Structure 1
Amino acid sequence: MGSQAHFFYAVSLPSETKLKIEEECSILKKNLPFQRWVHHEDLHITLAFLGSAEKEMLRASQAEVKKGLIDQKAFTLQLNELGVFGRGDSPRIFWADTYKEEKLFTIREIVFSACTGAGFELETRPFKPHITLARKWTGDSPFHTSLLNEHNPFKESPLSFTVNEVVLYQTHLDKSPKYERIASFPLADE
């Protein structure tokens, strides 16, 4: 693995959920001009971004994640709000979040602790679970948050999905989709 490789742990989304989000994004694109829309195969909820990683640390984190998740059960999430990160008039990230689910925060804490225990220095900002849909506003006029309420397809047609695994991904910036599954950690049946 090259030194430029970046890794992260994430909740993967079921294929049918990714396809439904892709369908909704094809409609959103008409009204929300962002420069780059995320390939539907790359949709996920990041739990811990590792950056570049030494093989031994990566192996140690995988062993700890596997051990920590052994008794964790699958659970359901439902998409909720659309939002943005960055400047209010020209956001850099457009995302969808989920209704708050304590099991997601528990899973994140297990993964986060496993990674710090393996020696990774992780970002310490509060966990804000989200699915990045697009990047970099390119509209002719400033972005307004009212656009999010006007164009939120998940308010009228709630989209629920089952979280049944955590995945370790490797990033390939020169490919599309750009995230490669390196390891999977299944959760027990609900």
Structure 2
Amino acid sequence: MISHYFLAIPLAERLQRVTRQTAETFLKTVRYKRITQPCDYHLTLYFFGALNNEEKQKVCRISKKIADNKNPFQLTLTGIDGFGERRHPHVLFASVAESKELIGLQEQITEVLTVNGFQPDKRAYHPHITLARHWMDGMMNVDLPQYSSTIAGHTWEVDHITLFQIYPDQARKYRPACIFPFNKK
């Protein structure tokens, strides 16, 4: 069986609990098919889908080269939002403040991987941390977005990117396959 992978920035461990607690306040009146476990919170940079071993090694070489030339940067959570209807979004997520460093990193990764034969996502990049997806029923008791939530203003230092392998049938769905630390200048 060929495994599926994606490149991402994991949410700092110290913010996972507060983000989950915030998500739970929004999930009291809405049911979703999938609730993301806090250990799986991340910002996707590039989704690959299935990769064979040769492709995985190529991704690792490219990612290491990119990470070796990056400096750490800060990201800030801004609140809770959703894709789709405001009262029952298809995807509920934690949003992040605009970041030139994040957008630049994602664009660089996409450009280099595309030149090396990988197929980029056709959708515009919208950085977010998925909290729940596949709305089933119920209605939010607040209008989204909510920028005054308890997570707004929390920051963390991004000092690496991670290639995650997907385990769809396990509680922890995403596990690091490779970690690429940034250059610490």
Count of residue pairs the alignment pairs up: 185
Aligned-residue CA RMSD in angstroms? 2.2
Residues 30 and 87 of structure 1, relative CA distance in 2, 3 Å threshold: closer
TM-score where L is the length of structure 1: 0.86
Amino acid paired to 2:179:
S
Aligned counterpart in structure 2 of residue 181 of structure 1, from 176, 182, 185: 176
Please say if 1:149 is aligned against 2:137: no
Q: Which whole-Å CA distance do the structure 2 matches of 1:91 and 1:27 have between them?
A: 15
Q: Is the 8 A contact 2:72 2:182 kept in 1?
A: yes
Query: What is residue 157 of structure 2 aligned with on the other side?
Result: 162
Tell me the TM-score normalised to structure 2 length: 0.88
User: 2:103 corresponds to which residue?
Assistant: 105
Deviation (angstroms), 1:139: 3.5
Q: What residue is the counterpart of 2:62 in the other structure?
A: 64
Counterpart of 1:172, as a letter, is: Y
Stretch moving more, 75-84 or 175-184 = 75-84
Could you list the per-position Cα deviations for residues 62-88 of structure 1 after superposition, in whole angstroms to 9, with x for gaps in the alignment? 111211221211111111132212355
1:37 counterpart (35, 38, 46): 35
Runs of 4+ in structure 1 deviating by more than 6 angstroms, as ranges, are: none
Residue segments in structure 2 that go unaligned for 5+ positions in a row:
none
Q: Is the Cα–Cα contact under 8 Å of residues 87 and 144 in structure 2 kept in the other structure? A: no
Please name the residue that 1:114 is paired with. Answer: 112
Q: Which amino acid aligns with 1:149?
A: Q
Q: 1:150 to 1:52 in 2, by over 3 A?
A: closer
Deviation at 1:140, TM superposition (A): 3.3
**SS of aligned partner of 1:166:** strand
Of 125-134 and 57-66, the range deviating more from structure 2: 57-66
Higher helix share: 1
Cα distance in 2 for partners of 1:13, 1:169 equals: 13
Q: Kindly indicate whether residue 90 of structure 2 is the aligned counterpart of residue 92 of structure 1.
A: yes
Moved more, 179-188 or 27-36: 27-36
Q: 1:128 aligns with which of 126, 129, 142?
A: 126
Q: Which runs of 5+ in 1 are unaligned?
A: none
